[in-house]
Every structure is written in structure tokens, then in C-alpha cells.
Amino acid sequence: MKLENKEFGFERFADEMAKLKKEQHFDYLVTIVGEDFGAEEGLGCIYIFENTQTHERCSVKQMAKQVGDDYVIPTVCKLWADADLLEREVYDFYGIKFLGHPDMRRLYLRNDFKGYPLRKDYDMDPAKNMYTTEDDIEVDTTTEWNLTADGKLVATAHKLFTDDEFVVNVGPQHPSTHGVLRLQTVLDGEKVKRIYPHLGYIHRGIEKMCESYTYPQTLALTDRMNYLSAMMHRHALVGVIEEAMGIELSERILYIRTIMDELQRIDNHLLYTSCCAQDLGALTGMLYGMRDREHVLNVMEETTGGRLIQNYYRIGGLQADIDPNFVANTKALCKYLRPMIQEYLDVFGDNVITHQRFEGIGAMNQEDCINYAVTGPAGRASGWRNDVRKYHPYAMYNKVDFEEIVLTNGDSMDRYYCHIKEMYQSLNIIEQLIDNIPEGDFYIKQKPIIKVPEGQWYFSVEGASGEFGAYLDSRGDKSAYRLKFRPMGLTLVGAMDKMLQGQKIADLVTTGAALDFVIPDIDR
Amino acid sequence: MFDFSIVTRWFDELLRGTLGLGDFGAILIECVIVGLAIIIGYAVLAIILIFMERKVCAYFQCRIGPVRVGWWGTLQVFADVLKMLIKEIFVVDKADKLLYYLAPFLVITASIGTFSFLPWNKGAAVLDFNVGIFLVTAISSIGVLGVFIAGWASNNKYSVLSAMRAAVQMISYELSLGICLISAVILTNTMQISGIVEAQTGPWQWLIFQGHIPATLGFLVFCIAGNAEANRGPFDLAEAESELTAGYHTEYSGMGFGFYYLAEYLNLFVISGLATTIFLGGWAPINIGIEGFDALMNYIPGIVWFLGKTFVVVFLLMWIRWTFPRLRVDQILKLEWKYLMPLSLVILVLMTVCVAFGWTFTIA
């Protein structure tokens, strides 16, 4: 969608935001985009909201107020809980201090990093931030910033943990974090008291890189975020560029993209069910899923040439037409997979121990899920209808018949079942489309140098584990002025603290497995 | 049935009579030979078990397991052992050195100690006291100490958590394990292991038949508790790799780790061996009261019976391990204290009643 930003001004901002949530029911904060609007305008943020009843979206633009050398904006983390990490991200990259935010630490970069790298005037000279082999500075206090009545910025220090607390680092190297995520966990015996996520161990600065790449070049980076949703990530990026440029796609492209997205979803969900089994110590259950994932990858590989990194969509269509065997292979795959899904339940999902380990673990009700922006199957397990494919349809999703899986308990067990049931729905979607792929172009020819007209767009797709969005601010150039991705996993990790307080350390592993986050997607 | 004591008596006679050695010399030589035999048997069995586990789990998981080293992968385990032997043993900084080095030996001692009690054949029980059962449980408890010390000495938070879990779990499950053994003692009226096996010779005399309902229940409880005692899935939460990396042996390398690895597999064998000895007749062949059949069965050597039955139990336990997900620590304790422990007490009472009223299954 093309963004039409509301602007409230600094003084009214906090009140208007509260009104937006309480009166207009915009209770789902999709993302906060920090942006350097240039020398005249300065730094600011764009907030994108959704009304979870009508699924209407709106955006708010708020410029930061300059106080001395600092830029400040009042926090909204008391209104929308997912703003906690999102505001920290903006602080990390732009140095905007959010007034009243209780935990203004860097999120991705090292504590000893100098400067704010996504500001347009940031000096990229490597000498300014020398590569160091020293350990990062470990802080155990954090700062809250507030403005006094006479306009001065004051800091209040908060302690992260007391001296006698038992702190265990789960990660960054840990078998169950599925990547380099570090969860600093305060334990009371086996009980979890508090979790502080530390991100950025695989931060590659993809958003910063996108600002200097031409549009076709940026595509290569999306596959390297959540590699299990590679197709969907690419879909979001080409989607936002195509929408901005007003490209009309042929039916064939839309059909193939939808089928590929769903194949990718099945691939992800198979890996998800496998990892759930593995994290619970049921290695056999894991390998059943891996065995069948191989077949899915084979089908995709014949067309795309990739198994993990797909490189298939491009601006205006697809990289190549589908393989001559694709239709037959996909149909065979669908036929093969249906009975297999029951097998995962037989060997793992319906096991009594699995139920014991999953039921009531990491539970979160619908209200909190919306508040913490736990999208995707994890949120739908609590009853929140948030499927982007249904409510903001793209490609062929408004023409195919599929059910949005919504469950009620919101615990790990329902999250697991939600994934299992979604696999059947994906198979349904594929089967509806696979026989009717229309003839036509698989690529709409574009100019050699792609330029996007001026404006701001946001386009989101249903990734395998949540909403994945791409925000594009174009100034009519051949590269983006600001490209921001809404990762699926960031808000999931942000919600883990709330989900796990008072539960066992073993439940941390269970909840993490059932949430389904992939670290390169969180870190970007 | 071949009685192995013929061989041992002959050897003893050879040393004392023919070579004219005194008590000290003869017993010394015998002890050394028996000790070597135990350690070799221990190592050989460990290799077989590790290979078996890799193949069994591979086939459970639709894989084929190791096939590259040697025919059908048979040399894979030897290669692994060799690798482990030549790996550097390093000590973690600020670890408690003495305890750190001591712990693997405690574990392996307990494992070999219990291993020595197994009755391999008629007349081939190495340690055979009149309080055999009692001593087995006593020695196996040393293993907990080894695990706990390892976790404590490693100076690693994961290891400490794991050690606490392991200690809590192993000590708890020892109770039902012990009570199941006692119910067998009630039935056979002896604590001596050779005596217990001896009581199971004859038609339908395996304890699981003799003691019918309570003995069958006892066997099941023993297998569950034994599985937990051996720290294997679904009770392997002490080394739950997805939570605590490798648990109490995270900080061990080379043979330090090798000892834990060995002990884990041999504990599996010991538990299965004990279950066989106590409930499935040890080396006693299956006799059904028909003379021809019984004679044929008796013709098969006892060691074949013992190993055969033990490996069936081992396979069962592997099956369980590679099927079930892991339990959580509170669920493990709940299982023991709320279900297994009361159940084993009921079995004990039931068994006593059965024995007292002569309701056991015996063909005179």
C-alpha cells in the first residue's frame, strides 16, 4: 500500500497515539521504520498500524525533536508491547532516544560501536569503527531517558539483574536457538524469571546495503534472511517495487509465485515440525520430516536451481519459466505428502509426552499476541485472525479457496497443530492452481535501469512464521532511499520473556521451537 | 547344561596342585585373569552396543547408518574409539582439577562394578555374594556421585544444572529399582544372584512366569526405572543436548568423555542384563515341561541364552529411546514419585501376598 502518513507533531504525539489505539482500535503495531529524511527534515519514524477488527491499516509519521545533540521521540512501548524491541532497533541505527522507554540499549550493534550507521551523514570510514577482537562490553544496567519540564534530557539508570541472581546465557552458541541468538536468562532454580534477548550476532546490515544497491541487486539479499521463507521474502520485496512502479503481472507469474510460496511454506513447516521434535529429544520424529522436506526441495530445485537460496522472483516476474516436469512433480509431491503429515503426528505430535511438554507451555492469549505482534501461526494459535493472505491478499490468494487455521489455546501445542494444519491448506492451494497454470509470459520486460517513482510503500506477505513486510521509501532514484524489512522473528523473540516468566528452563527450548524463528531474519 | 565351574575348578587345581602355588599366588593370578576378562568383555560389549545403537537408530529413522568404514560400517566404532583415544585431554580453566579427573573414574568404576555381577553362564558369575542384589544397588549408586562431581567440577553453569537434574533423577529412580529387586528376592528367597537364576531353571520357572502379575509389573517398572537410571531417552534430560548442550560431560574431551560414553552404553547393558537375570531367567533356558523340547533348549549354552535375552531387552530400550520425546524434570519426578514408586510398593505387597499364600506359578 502507498503510505499516507498522519502527522501529529511532537506535543500531541503521545495523546494521539493513545487515542489511535484505544478509540480507533489500531491495536497491532506492524512495525516502526526509523528514517533519516535528509538534512532539512531530520530524523523520524514511521509507524504502521493495523486495526485487528477491520484489518484496515494506517501509518503515522513522527519527526524527532532535537534536544542539544540528541533526537527524541516519546515512546509508545507502553501502548504496544512490541515497540520495545522496535524502538531499540531505531535507537541502535539512528540514535533516536525514546523518552520513557525503560531499556534504551543497543539491540543489534556492539555496545562499543560509535555512531549510528543508518543516518545519512554516517561516516563509513572503517577507521572510525575499527574491527576488534576484544569481547563486547557487558552492561548490566540500562538507561531510561526523559525530558524535564525545562526541556533538559535526563538519564535514569535501571539494573538488569541483582547481584544474587543466577544468569544463564542460552546462546549465542546453543543447539536449540537455531542460530546465533543469545537469551540472557535469569533463573531461579529451573524457573525462568526474566529473559533479555541479545540480537545482532549475524547482523549484516542488509538495510544499509540496500540503500547503495540498485533495485535488482537488493533482491539477492532477501533470500539470506529467513532462508526457510526465501520465496516469501523475495515476494515482499519485488511486490513493493512492482506496486510502486505499477507493473501489471501476467496471470502465469501470479500462479507460479503462489505455488512457489506455498511449496516454501510446506518446506518451512516440515522443518518446523522436525525441529520441534529435535528440541524435545525425539530425533526420529525429526528425521521423518527431513526425509520429506527433501522431496519438496527437489521439486523446487528443478525450477529454481536452488535448495536453500532460491533466487527465483525478480522485478517484473520470474527468473525462469517452470521446469517441464514441474507440474507432474508437484502433483506427485502433493499426493505423497498428505498421508505423511499424519505420520509426523503418529511418531511425535500425538505422543503423550509431547502433549505433556507442549500443553500450556509458552501460552499467550489473543490480546497479548496482538500487543506483542506475535503474527503468523503462533498468533493464529491464540485465535488472532492475522493471515495476510486472507486480509491483504496478493498474487492469487483472493482467488483460491483455503481456510485460515485459527485455534484457541495459544500454547505451544496449538502452535504445533496450527503448522500441521497449514500444511494441508498449502497442499490445497497448490492443488487448486497446479493444473490451471495459464500460458503467458513468465517475465514482463523491464527497463535496463529500474527507477521507482517517488513515494513510500509498504507491502507485506504471509511468511512461514508471520507477517513479512517490506517498506520502501523511494526518491525516484535507481536505488532505494530507505528499505526496511519487517522481520517475522523479532516480535516473536520479544514476546518470549512474557510467555516464559515462571516456566521452566526446558520450556524455553520448547517455546522457542514452537514459535519458529530464524535468526538471520531477525538480525538482517 | 554346561557348568562353567568345571573350567574354573580345573584352573584352580592347575595353579594349586600342578604348579604348587599357595593361596596368595593362586588367587592373585585368578583375580588378574578374571579382571582382564571383565575389562575385555566390557570393551567388546561397548563396541557392539555402540554399533548396534547406531544401526538400530538409523533404521528407525529411515537412514542406513555408518557404512563407509569396513563392511557395513563395522569398523566405524573402532575408528571412533581410536579418535577418542588420541584426542587431547584438556582441563577447563578454574575447574576443580582433582574432582574433574576423579569423576569419570567413579562413573566407570560403578559401571564395571555392576557389570561384574552379571551371571554369564551356569557357574560363571564373577562376583557372587550372598548379598549380591544388595551390593549391586550399592555399587551402582557410585555412578550418581561421578555424574554429580563431574557437573560440579566443570565450572560450567550448564553442567551444574545437568548434574543437579541427574542426581535428582537417579537417586529417585533407584528407589523403584531397588523395590522391584526386593520383590524378586521375596519370590526366590535369596539375594545371591546365582541363587536367583538357579531358582528360575525348570519348566516355566522364569520369575516373570513364576510371579505372573506382580512379576510382570515389576519387570515393566524395572525397565522404566532402569532406563531412567541409565540416563537414556526419554529420561536423558541430564544430557539434553537441546537445553544443556551436553550436560555434565560438556567440558570433557578425549577419554574423559569416552568414559562417560562407555559407561552410558554399558549401563544400558547392565540394566538389561539385570532385568534378564532377575525376571527373565538369566542364563536359564526356556523350559515348558515337554522333555524333548526342554532337552533341546538345554543344549543351547547358557551364555547364548543370557546374551540373547539381554540384547532383546537392549533392543526394547533402544526402541523406546528412539521413539519418545524427552520429559521435563518435574514430569520425570512426578512419574517416579506419584506413579512408579507407589506402584512398585503395591507390587512388593502383592508379591509378598502371592508368596505367602503360595499363589505362585510352579509346576512341581
Query: Would you say the C-alpha torsion B254, B256, B257, B260 has a positive or negative sign?
Result: positive
Kindly tell me if the per-residue pLDDT of B123 is higher than 80: no
CB within 8 Å: B330 and A504: yes
**Nearest CA among A202, A199, A209 for reference residue A124:** A209
Kindly tell me if the per-residue pLDDT of A132 is higher than 60: yes
- Give the model's pLDDT for residue A135: 82
Rounded Cα distance, A284 and B191, in Å = 40
The whole-number average pLDDT for the span A446-452 is 83
**Interface probe with B: pick from A188, A287, A294, A352, most Cβ of B within 10 Å:** A287
User: Is B263 among the domain residues?
Assistant: yes
User: Is B362 among the domain residues?
Assistant: no
What are the backbone angles phi and psi of residue B72, rounded to the nearest 5°? 55, 30
CB within 8 Å: A190 and B329: yes
Q: Between B241 and A10, where is the model more confident? A: A10
Q: Please indicate if any CB of chain A lies within 8 Å of the CB of B64.
A: no
Kindly list the residues from chain B whose CB atom is less than 8 angstroms away from the CB atom of residue A294: none
For residue A61, what is the enclosing H or E element? strand A57-63
ipTM above 0.90, yes or no: no
Neighbour count for residue A157 (Cβ, 10 Å): 8
pTM here is 0.84
Superfamily of domain A206-362+411-490+511-516 in the CATH hierarchy: Cytochrome-c3 Hydrogenase, chain B (1.10.645.10)
Cβ-based neighbours of B50, under 8 Å, separated by 6 or more: B77, B80, B261, B265
Query: Collapsing DSSP states into helix, strand and coil, what is residue A278?
Result: helix
**Nearest CA among B106, B304, B336, B133 for reference residue B227:** B336
Residue of B nearest to A286 (CA): B61
Instruction: Give the distance from residue A355's alpha carbon to the nearest chain B alpha carbon, in angstroms.
Output: 10
**Interface probe with A: pick from B241, B322, B324, most Cβ of A within 10 Å:** B324
**Interface probe with A: pick from B326, B329, B331, B333, most Cβ of A within 10 Å:** B326
Q: In this predicted model, what pLDDT tens digit does every residue of A298-313 receive, in sequence order?
A: 998 888 888 888 888 8
Which residues numbered 120-139 in B keep a CB inside 8 Å of some CB on A? none
Structural domain of B230: 82-357
Percent of chain B with pLDDT over 70: 97
Rounded Cα distance, A364 and B137, in Å = 46
Query: Which band of pLDDT confidence, cut at 50, 70 and 90, is reported for residue B87?
Result: confident
- Give the model's pLDDT for residue B363: 61
Kindly list the residues from chain A whose CB atom is less than 8 angstroms away from the CB atom of residue B163: none
Instruction: Give the distance from residue A168's alpha carbon to the nearest chain B alpha carbon, in angstroms.
Output: 7
**Nearest CA among A295, A315, A255, A354 for reference residue A479:** A315
What angle separates helix B157-188 from helix B341-357, to the nearest 10 degrees?
A: 10
Q: In this predicted model, what pLDDT tens digit does every residue of A37-85 receive, in sequence order?
A: 887 888 888 888 888 888 888 888 888 888 878 888 888 888 888 888 8
Q: In this predicted model, what pLDDT tens digit does every residue of A208-253 receive, in sequence order?
A: 888 888 888 888 888 888 888 888 888 999 989 888 888 888 888 8
Q: Please indicate if any CB of chain A lies within 8 Å of the CB of B13.
A: no
DSSP per-residue letters across B234-247: TS-GGG-HHHHTTG
Rounded Cα distance, B308 and B312, in Å = 6
Kindly tell me if the per-residue pLDDT of A369 is higher than 60: yes
Question: Is residue B289 exposed (0-12), middle (13-18) or buried (19+ Cβ within 10 Å)?
Answer: exposed
Neighbour count for residue B134 (Cβ, 10 Å): 15
Cβ-based neighbours of A383, under 8 Å, separated by 6 or more: A366, A406, A407, A408, A410
Rounded Cα distance, A483 and B295, in Å = 85
Beta-bridge mates of residue A458: A471
Which residues numbered 303-332 in B keep a CB inside 8 Å of some CB on A? 322-331
Rounded Cα distance, A329 and A319, in Å = 20
Kindly tell me if the per-residue pLDDT of B196 is higher than 70: yes
In the numeric block, which cell numbers belong to residue A446?
A: 523491464
Query: Would you say the C-alpha torsion B205, B209, B212, B216 has a positive or negative sign?
Result: positive
In the numeric block, which cell numbers belong to residue B264?
A: 552410558
Query: Collapsing DSSP states into helix, strand and coil, what is residue A505?
Result: helix
In the numeric block, which cell numbers belong to residue A31?
A: 512495525
Query: Which band of pLDDT confidence, cut at 50, 70 and 90, is reported for residue B175?
Result: confident
Q: Count each helix (H run) and each strand (E run) in chain A, helices first.
A: 16, 17
Residue of B nearest to A513 (CA): B242
Rounded Cα distance, A519 and A506, in Å = 20
Q: In this predicted model, what pLDDT tens digit does every residue of B299-314 receive, in sequence order?
A: 888 888 889 999 999 9
The whole-number average pLDDT for the span A26-30 is 87
Rounded Cα distance, A142 and B218, in Å = 58
CB within 8 Å: A504 and B62: no
Rounded Cα distance, B247 and A33, in Å = 42
List residues in chain A touching B: CB distance below 8 A: 166, 168, 174-176, 190, 277-285, 287-288, 291, 347-348, 351, 353-354, 356-357, 504-509
Q: Between A481 and B236, where is the model more confident? A: A481
Kindly list the residues from chain B whose CB atom is less than 8 angstroms away from the CB atom of residue A190: 161, 329-330
Percent of chain A with pLDDT over 90: 1
CATH, range A5-152? 3.30.460.80
CB within 8 Å: A168 and B233: no
Kindly tell me if the per-residue pLDDT of A397 is higher than 80: yes
Query: Collapsing DSSP states into helix, strand and coil, what is residue B87?
Result: coil
Q: In this predicted model, what pLDDT tens digit does every residue of A469-524 receive, in sequence order?
A: 899 888 888 888 888 898 888 888 888 888 888 888 878 888 888 888 888 888 88
Kindly tell me if the per-residue pLDDT of A455 is higher than 60: yes
Q: In this predicted model, what pLDDT tens digit does every residue of B323-339 receive, in sequence order?
A: 888 888 888 888 889 99
What are the backbone angles phi and psi of residue A241, rounded to the nearest 5°? -70, -45
User: Is B49 among the domain residues?
Assistant: no
Kindly tell me if the per-residue pLDDT of B364 is higher than 60: no
Q: Between A399 and B125, where is the model more confident? A: A399
Query: Which band of pLDDT confidence, cut at 50, 70 and 90, is reported for residue A102?
Result: confident
CA neighbours closer than 13 Å in the CB half-sphere of residue A203: 18
Nearest to B322 among A284, A291, A354 (CB): A284
Q: How many domains does chain B have?
A: 1
Residue contacts between A and B (CB atoms, under 8 Å): 80
Rounded Cα distance, B3 and B119, in Å = 12
User: Is B98 among the domain residues?
Assistant: yes
Q: Please indicate if any CB of chain A lies within 8 Å of the CB of B240.
A: yes
For chain A, what is the mean pLDDT?
86
CA distances from A478 to A82, A435, A451 (A): 33, 38, 5
Rounded Cα distance, A237 and A222, in Å = 8
Instruction: Give the distance from residue B99's alpha carbon to the nearest chain A alpha carbon, in angstroms.
Output: 23
- Give the model's pLDDT for residue B312: 92
Percent of chain A with pLDDT over 70: 100
The whole-number average pLDDT for the span A126-152 is 82
Query: Which band of pLDDT confidence, cut at 50, 70 and 90, is reported for residue A152?
Result: confident
The whole-number average pLDDT for the span A392-419 is 87
**Nearest CA among B354, B126, B170 for reference residue B267:** B170
Rounded Cα distance, A458 and A486, in Å = 10
- Give the model's pLDDT for residue B243: 65
Cβ-based neighbours of B296, under 8 Å, separated by 6 or more: none
Residue type, B293: F
User: Is B87 among the domain residues?
Assistant: yes
Residue of B nearest to A166 (CA): B157
When mean pLDDT is compared across A452-461, B251-260, B313-322, the lowest value belongs to B251-260
Instruction: Give the distance from residue A36's alpha carbon to the nearest chain B alpha carbon, in angstroms.
Output: 42
CB within 8 Å: A284 and B330: no
End-to-end CA distance of chain B: 20
CB within 8 Å: B242 and A357: no
Kindly tell me if the per-residue pLDDT of A174 is higher than 80: no
Instruction: Give the distance from residue B246's alpha carbon to the nearest chain A alpha carbon, in angstroms.
Output: 10
Cβ-based neighbours of A40, under 8 Å, separated by 6 or more: none
Instruction: Give the distance from residue B290's alpha carbon to the nearest chain A alpha carbon, in angstroms.
Output: 42
Kindly list the residues from chain A whose CB atom is less than 8 angstroms away from the CB atom of residue B325: 277, 280-282, 285, 348, 351, 353-354, 357
Query: Would you say the C-alpha torsion B102, B108, B110, B116 has a positive or negative sign?
Result: negative
- Give the model's pLDDT for residue B242: 62
User: Is B50 among the domain residues?
Assistant: no
